[in-house]
Amino acid sequence: MKKKSYVFMLTDEDRKRHEHVSENNRIVSFVVQYEMLHEGKWTPVIRYDNAHGFAHKDLMNPDGSKDKILIGEADFNEALSMADKDIQENWEKYRQRYLRRLKS
């Protein structure tokens, strides 16, 4: 099995963390997470993974709770690609959602 992981800085206060394990060019496990720097600490805002055996995303809330959403993609290679693309294109929207909930 091959494990790859990297952190991609989006800004000085925003980053995407990507990790996956593959075997024979098939994704076995993955995590793609957008994190923002908040009060000096990297805070998860959205995470895609296949923990529990299925691909899903967790939208984090400032109170520590999270909204789990099944993404309906059984193929982990496709789920990983979709997750990476979604965070790359929409991280600013996820940041604003988190900050709105932080103020409530």
- The percent of the chain in helix, strand and coil, each rounded to the nearest 5, is 30, 50, 20
* Residues 92, 95, 97, 103, CA torsion sign: negative
Tens of pLDDT along 64-99?
999 999 988 779 999 999 999 999 999 999 999 999
Position 53 confidence tier, pLDDT thresholds 50, 70, 90? confident
- The answer on pLDDT for 100 being more than 80 is yes
Position 104 confidence tier, pLDDT thresholds 50, 70, 90? confident
In this predicted structure, what is the pLDDT of residue 72? 80
In this predicted structure, what is the pLDDT of residue 18? 97
- What is the identity of the amino acid at 76? F
Q: Phi-psi category of 53—alpha, beta or left, where left has phi over 0 and alpha has psi -120 to 50?
A: left
3-class SS of residue 64: coil
Domains of the chain by residue range: 2-103
